[in-house]
């Protein structure tokens, strides 16, 4: 899913952004629509904006089939739609596993 999509024509590639007094202003090269990008995280499923941040591990194969954590990324969890993941994060404070494990491209 693209990070930014034009609200008028759904374009997701021909977009140009610039900083205007601390706000990102986006211009669509296809239809010319200009809008301020809202940086508030929002649930893709239900639209809630009171999401909680959590860390998710980025894994890669380091030796043979051994998986190692290569980094972390912030993921936003919805209290309704991601309740199980959120509970796991809050209970353990351990980075969540990735959604997909790395595989050999054979």
Residue 34's domain spans which residues?
1-39
Does 100 reside within a domain?
no
d(CA 13, CA 9) in angstroms, rounded, equals 11
The pLDDT of residue 64 = 75
Does 76 reside within a domain?
yes
The pLDDT of residue 61 = 79
Domain count of the chain?
2
Pairing of strands 52-63, 23-28: unpaired
Q: Are residues 30 and 3 in the same domain?
A: yes
Does 84 reside within a domain?
yes
Q: Are residues 61 and 88 in the same domain?
A: yes
Helix (H, G, I), strand (E, B) or coil at 51: coil
The pLDDT of residue 65 = 76
Residue 58 DSSP one-character state: E
Contact present, 85 and 55 (Cβ < 8 Å):
no
**pTM score above 0.75:** no
pLDDT averaged per 10 residues in sequence order, the chain, 106 residues: 83 92 90 89 91 92 80 94 94 89 64
Does 99 reside within a domain?
no
Does 105 reside within a domain?
no
The pLDDT of residue 104 = 60
The pLDDT of residue 105 = 54
């Amino acid at each position: 899913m693209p990070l930014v999509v034009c609200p008028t024509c759904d374009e997701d590639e021909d977009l140009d952004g610039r900083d205007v007094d601390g706000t990102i202003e986006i211009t669509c090269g296809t239809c010319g629509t200009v809008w301020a990008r809202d940086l508030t995280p929002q649930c893709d499923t239900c639209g809630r904006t009171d999401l909680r941040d959590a860390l998710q591990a980025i894994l890669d194969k380091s030796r043979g089939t051994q998986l190692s954590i290569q980094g972390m990324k912030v993921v936003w969890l919805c209290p309704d739609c991601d309740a199980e993941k959120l509970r796991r994060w809050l209970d353990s404070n351990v980075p969540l596993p990735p959604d997909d494990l790395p595989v050999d491209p054979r």
